[in-house]
Amino acid sequence: MAEEDSSKLHIAMFPWLAFGHMIPFLEVAKLIAQKGHKISFISTPRNIDRLPKLPPSLSSSIHFIKLPLPPVENLPENAEATTDLPFEDVPYLKMAFDGLQDPLAKFLETSCPDWLVFDFAPYWLPPLAHNLGIPNAYFSIYTASALAQMKPSSPLMAHIQDDRSKPEDLTKPPKWIPFPNAFAFRIFEIQRFFDAVTGVGNDDSQPSDIYRSEQVIQHCDAIFVRSSRELEPEYLDLLHQLHYKPIIPTGQLPPVLTNYNNQDDDEASWKPIKEWLDKQEGGSVVYVAFGSEADPSEEELTEIALGLELSGLPFFWVLRTRRGAILDLPDGFEDRTKGRGVVWRSWAPQVKILAHESVGGFLSHAGWSSVVEAITFQRPLILLTFLFDQGLNARVLEEQKLGYVIPRDDIDGTFTRDSVAESVRLVVLEEAGQVYRDNVKKMKGVFGDPEIQDRYVDQLLNFLVTNKNLVSHPRP
């Protein structure tokens, strides 16, 4: 790509109000800014204030645009991200998010970006961008195999109807995937969020997640996917057939490229954690974290805790919850495991923890950002899924033996402390789990190679530069 000033871009980015979405958007923004382009990163004030600090070298290239979230009845004050709310109250956050349409339009009118990149939620944004003549793209933080679950939008695929109407229908791969695959939900996984994403029981005025995603996919000019040809080439090709528009993989966005190790802002948290990790044997610690979206029940927490206790392994458990959640661990658990285990109830520098040589496995919810971080540092995964694409991610990891799924009841998803203990020991210690430990080492190049990631960024920028004068028109 030419490096003349005329090729420099101004890209506006607008993620959904969840940190599992905002962080990948920010990673892409950093990688693009490192190439000399300008980014306007748009979100709400409190969310922007909670994002990781930028490296000084990028502070003049990435500009944070704060759009105050309009008040909505039943939405608590200062609730600006999904982590600030119980799961059942997230629809109110979506209502407030939709209220950003007018202030966002005003910003776009005055700033005239070359491209607008957005998430699944603002179904109203592609027509707005087209009316302003701004080329636009949907950036899927989900893998290509997960995104392929969405029904085709291409007119060439109009003969294929999506007749899935019940949770049971999603326990089989969709009929538009033409090759053998195992990527479908288990019934307990889809039942946890089926109503929320399909809009069952919603007021008719509140668009479902499925509707939002379908509208964004149908009307955007291009689709960017957090994926790579090294991992899922057939799904990237399939997405082009399904939607008949450019499909551009961004690479896996591994954390080693984002200057985490050069940040000092987390030093206060990291120092005591590092001191504890330094005392543990290499490859012995089970790191436990389920992200900001997971919402385990009291019963699930009890089995996880007692399973960790039964395993006999040292563990470091980051236990953070959504606002409104009350989580109690079993009586005496922390006293009985004191010294061998740590329950950490505030933010922790996950990347630094995973990079520490004492960590031998990661008990995770299979959120893709956590998966990428784990494999980058060659940490095998023990998987316990809760919501959304996590079940599909677990199928990918299970198939490639990068992660072991804790056995659960197929119908209600219950699991036992014994299955937790046995799964953790298998992956971290036992000979039968050596395949998981070996395979994550083999995959390090796919996830953590700076040259591979840099190539994906160059390909993305080449597309953006080549098409920055694209004249958008409203689509039917």
81 and 179 housed in the same domain: yes
Residue 403 confidence (pLDDT) above 60: yes
pLDDT at residue 134, rounded to an integer: 95
| Inter-residue contact 285 to 362 (CB < 8 Å) | no
> Does residue 472 lie in a domain region?
no
pLDDT, tens digit (0-9, with 9 covering 90-100), for 117-170? 999 999 999 999 999 999 999 999 999 998 998 888 887 777 777 777 777 777
SS3 state at 139: strand
409 and 462 housed in the same domain: no
246 and 352 housed in the same domain: no
SS3 state at 73: coil
Please give the residue range of the domain that contains residue 149.
5-256+449-466
Residue 201 confidence (pLDDT) above 60: no
Mean pLDDT (whole number) for 54-73: 95
pLDDT at residue 214, rounded to an integer: 92
Whole-angstrom Cα distance, residue 49 to residue 326?
A: 26
228 and 305 housed in the same domain: no
pLDDT at residue 227, rounded to an integer: 94
217 and 113 housed in the same domain: yes
pLDDT at residue 268, rounded to an integer: 78
| Inter-residue contact 405 to 394 (CB < 8 Å) | yes
Whole-angstrom Cα distance, residue 380 to residue 184?
A: 22
| Inter-residue contact 440 to 402 (CB < 8 Å) | yes
Number of domains in the chain: 2
pLDDT, tens digit (0-9, with 9 covering 90-100), for 455-470? 999 999 999 999 887 6
213 and 92 housed in the same domain: yes
> Does residue 252 lie in a domain region?
yes
> Does residue 473 lie in a domain region?
no
Residue 325 confidence (pLDDT) above 60: no
SS3 state at 330: coil
121 and 98 housed in the same domain: yes
Mean pLDDT (whole number) for 335-342: 92
45 and 132 housed in the same domain: yes
| Inter-residue contact 219 to 443 (CB < 8 Å) | no
234 and 291 housed in the same domain: no
378 and 395 housed in the same domain: yes
> Does residue 474 lie in a domain region?
no
CATH number at residue 148: 3.40.50.2000
Whole-angstrom Cα distance, residue 286 to residue 341?
A: 9
> Does residue 303 lie in a domain region?
yes
> Does residue 101 lie in a domain region?
yes
53 and 150 housed in the same domain: yes
246 and 323 housed in the same domain: no
Residue 472 confidence (pLDDT) above 50: no
Read off the pLDDT band of 244 (50, 70, 90). Answer: very high
Residue 450 confidence (pLDDT) above 50: yes
Q: Which residues of 26-62 are buried (b: 16+ CB within 10 A; e: fewer)?
A: bbbbbbbbbbebbbbbbbbebbbeeebebbeebeebb
Q: List the beta bridge partners of residue 281.
A: none
